[in-house]
Amino acid sequence: MLKIAQSSLKTAGNALSLTITLVALFFSICSLFGSDFSAGPIFDQFPLTIGTGQRTEIAGPFYYNEQNDSEKTWAFPPFFSRWEDPTIDASEDQSLYPIFSYVRYGNQYRAQFVELFSWAGGENQGNVHAHRVMVFPVYFRQRSSNTNDNYTAVFPIYGRLKNVLFRDEIYFVMFPGYSRTRLRDVVNYNYFYPFVNTRHGNGLSGWQFWPFYGTEHKVLTLVTNTWGVETNAGHDQSFVMWPVHFRQNNGIGTDDPERLRANLPFYASIRSPKRDSTSVLWPFFNFINDRDRKYREIQTPWPIIEFAHGEGKHATRIFPFYSLAYNDSLLDKFYLWPVYKYDSIYSPPLDERRGRVFFFLYQNTSEKNTETGKFRRRIDLWPFALYAHDFDGSTRLQILALLETFTPDSPGINRNWSPLWSIWRSENNPSTGANSQSFLWNLYRRDASPEAKKISCLFGLYQYQANPEGKTVRLFYIPVVKQHTATAMK
């Protein structure tokens, strides 16, 4: 056994020595050739085509670092990446994105693990320090230099929360047994949520015993805010045997009061100075007369069949076969949904259009500034390719693109996952005249600009480089052609 252990140790030592020797030899070659050295997927360093700086890639897609102006990124896809920009004092760490991420901006920070465990904190504009911990949906805790902002909650037993879940304050004991929520001036008391509820606020009061009966009344109120005095309309609302009978009077005190009466599914009506709507045997027969937007609409039944006509809206829909709806600024249509769908927004200077085939299988999205004529365009052919044209005229083509279609412009996907399957990358920058192409993680790579051209393929066994100083050709890393002429770029 001792001999076997000694033999194993000796083999491991030899392997380690050989590895160290190869690494030392590799970096010796790197230092010998300097910035001109290229070994394809093993090692390559090149200037950015789109941006200002350079990028180094080692071991194919499994390591890179990039300096783009003031931004610096380095990563071991898909395990870890770090992005930082010292000019704005910000950084972001990601591990197996989106499983873990840590984001810092100044002294503000947030970390999360699969969005179930997170901690965050820092100092806000009011010089208040706060630190929050969440184990969703069980434990919530915050400690602040302003003790009024402190809270602790252990769901569903007991707790108090502030400024979460779209509420200013939440308090509960043995939820759903008892809870109290506050949003601005409106306070809700819930007993065995959602069955028993009482609420009150500025000019508001109401209660419900769901689903049997509920009522709410609010008078017209005036609220002073940053822009002056705001009018909050009043209303009277009630239901019986929800969702069967509704009775609502909304917009009380305004120039567009609305009255809703409903006994579903038999009949429902909405009446106001600007719009009338009637439903019979909902959702089978719906009739709309919108006097404000100047159109009439019939739905039989909604949302399967729809016809609308008028200045404010034209629509014809027979789902899933055909649909066309448009007005002065919006257009939406489909054929054999979801085979093909198209929508657009035209509101100068914005002109935005999107066409899709089978949701994400093919997407063509464009955004144009009608005043400047500049546009941005993106074409996704999942999972094969992604093409992007930016406002500055730069273009990028990537093959393959497995996740980018579902999360467009996601830095996390671009940093941690895209390098793994981007077998072809092509970029063009018309402002500088630079362009580049890369195949199989730089097994073949070409970089060109008005001043220089560089080609490397087969792990750098063949390299071509030309610039105003001359032209160089290397085979097996050995220079075989070296020309110093002013015409070497030709």
∠ CA 368-369-373, nearest 5°, is 90
The answer for 101, left when phi > 0, alpha when psi is -120 to 50, beta otherwise, is beta
Given a cut of 70, is residue 1 above it in pLDDT?
no
Residue 19: its H or E element = helix 2-33
Measured distance CA(464)–CA(483) in Å, rounded: 12
Q: For the segment 396-455, what is each residue's pLDDT rounded down to a tens digit? A: 999 999 999 999 889 999 999 999 999 999 999 999 999 999 999 999 999 999 999 999
Q: How confident is the model at residue 26 (pLDDT cuts 50, 70, 90)?
A: low
What pLDDT sits at residue 8? 45
Backbone phi, psi, residue 106, to 5°: 65, -125
What pLDDT sits at residue 189? 98
Given a cut of 90, is residue 15 above it in pLDDT?
no
Residues 471-490 have a mean pLDDT of 76
Q: For the segment 259-295, what is each residue's pLDDT rounded down to a tens digit? A: 999 999 999 999 999 999 999 999 999 999 999 999 9
What pLDDT sits at residue 428? 97
Q: For the segment 115-136, what is each residue's pLDDT rounded down to a tens digit? A: 899 999 998 777 889 999 999 9
Measured distance CA(490)–CA(487) in Å, rounded: 6
Q: How confident is the model at residue 33 (pLDDT cuts 50, 70, 90)?
A: low
Range from 20-34, 150-164, 326-340 carrying the lowest mean pLDDT:
20-34
> Would you list the domain boundaries of the chain?
1-37
0.85 exceeded by pTM: no
Residues 226-240 have a mean pLDDT of 88
Range from 52-66, 254-268, 431-445, 463-477 carrying the lowest mean pLDDT:
463-477
Mean pLDDT, the chain, as a whole number? 90
